[in-house]
Amino acid sequence: MKLKFQVIDRVGAMAQIAVVLADKDLNILAMEVEKRDGATFVYLDLETGPQSPLQEAILSSLEAIPNILSVVSIRTMPQERREKRFKVVLDSVSDGILSINEEGELTTINRVARGMLGLTDRELVGRNLRDLDFPDTSLLSCLDGRTYHNVKRSISHGNRRARFLASSQVIRDSKGRIVGAVEVLRDIKGLHEVASAVAGEPQVTFDDMVGQSPALRQAIAFAEKVAPTDGIVSIRGESGTGKELFASAIHVASGCRGPFVPVNCAALPENLLESELFGYVGGAFSGAKKEGRAGLFETAKSGTIFLDEIAEMPAALQAKMLRVIQDGKLRRIGSNEEITVNARVVTATNRDLEQLVRQGRFREDLYYRVNLFPLHIPPLRERLEDIPLLAGHFLFQVNARLGLRARQLTAGALAKLRSHHWPGNVRELRNVIERAAILSGREEIDAESIRFSFEISRPDGVAAAAGGTSLAGQVEQLERRVIAEALQLAPSKRQAAKMLGLSHTGLLKKLKKYGMG
């Protein structure tokens, strides 16, 4: 039973209240006193039992005391209300917060900290950290006066891995004695999201990788191990497996302060690629800016330059690239002045570099420079168990972006997804899910709504040629085959374009049109 009194003479009133409570055989569990606007209020938490008098009888006896102006029953004590407000505030902050007293007993832990540390037990407060199955007990060291600031921590629990920065502070009393410690945990992923919002560019972390298959987790574990080094990572994987995502995550995990600068070595003509990578001085060539321009290696200072499709780099540029990687210096086009560059290099390709070296299409010395840490990204067909997670992730994204109704995939839809070979890998899966969500118009996506590119019907009204395929369709099929054969025969996309009588840009447009990457 909890009661609130307004009293005139606190000392006299309390003496009289104690007499009444003793007569009723009631014990006081807690007492609080407040003074507001000249009035005095006393709050009592009473221990009652089966033999205790009825509440009405107790109130009647207390109201008869002369020094009591009023007495009412209440649900909570002021301290309980303060604790609830404090808990709401703690649980609303984005950081994890926990504290201990001088004995090492947990005095505070908020919802975010529970999630980061993977703690499900709700009755943790009051228990000693030394006696708990606690994933990290560094906070106990603060009781000896030691503190830490922004220490990287990683804790795995279940299928989730939490990565955060931990900082601590000692709590001292008025005499300077240590009476406890508090720890603040800051989610690294959340910090990167804030940085992305400020910088205006996406920051991908390893925590953004969707999937729990052994093949993917092995690739992530290797990438996390080599990310803090300055060694070149050579990412290998088929088109659509997420090579640039891995490169970006490596950049973030490396702690590089500079920008992440991606460049597709196959997307630019040779002369333009050279000026983009290494820069030029004024008047270096026709059309050059008179003030010159810094190249992407300089732009990536103290950051990471990602050389995608490095196997497509022309031989002349391979030699220049070797010198930059080997010596850390470059010369802008039209200049003899050497510029020191300081950028982490990550490369990627979907080609067999070893075979290209044997065929003399890729420099052997450059190969050994860029292949320090080869990282294989598994194709989707080797991680089919990740399809439900990936499909759900893409479904959530398209719903949020377009305001669609699709909420889940049926068992039949998932079975159809698992049975597909996935030549386009994760990129193809994203397109399939987005197409199904848009075209189905329903909350549940069934197997009928899952349509792969080769299954998509012609729009009504398109004239069909013999065999059920329109002339345009037959031309597209033939063009696909011819381009695929040229890519197989030629050492690079540039050579394939020459073989087909196309410009390099023209071939890239065809590849994009047909999703041939």
pLDDT at residue 459, as a whole number: 44
pLDDT tens, position by position, 73-108: 999 999 999 988 988 888 888 889 999 999 999 999
pLDDT of amino acid 463: 39
Which CATH code fits 388-457?
1.10.8.60
Q: Where are the domains of the chain?
A: 2-76, 93-193, 206-376, 388-457, 471-514
CATH of region 93-193: 3.30.450.20
Which residues are paired to 186 by β-bridges? Answer: 165
CA distance to 231, 248, 505, per residue, from 205 (Å): 19, 7, 32
Token reading at 167: 């900082």
Q: What is the pTM of this model?
A: 0.56
| pLDDT of 481 | 77
Angle, to 10 degrees, between the axis of helix 387-402 and the axis of helix 425-440?
50
Separation of alpha carbons 375 and 347, rounded Å: 10
CA proximity to 167, closest of 144, 191, 132, 139: 139
User: With respect to CATH, is domain 2-76 assigned 3.30.70.260?
Assistant: yes
* Fold classification of 206-376 (topology level): Rossmann fold (3.40.50)
| DSSP letter for each residue of 428-463 | HHHHHHHHHHHHH-SSEE-GGG---GGGPPPPTTPP
The reply to whether 388-457 shares the fold of 93-193 is no
Which pLDDT score, from 0 to 100, does residue 196 have? 53
Q: What are the residue ranges in the chain where pLDDT is below 70? A: 51-52, 120-122, 156-161, 189-202, 454-474, 517
Cα(374)–Cα(368) distance, integer angstroms: 11
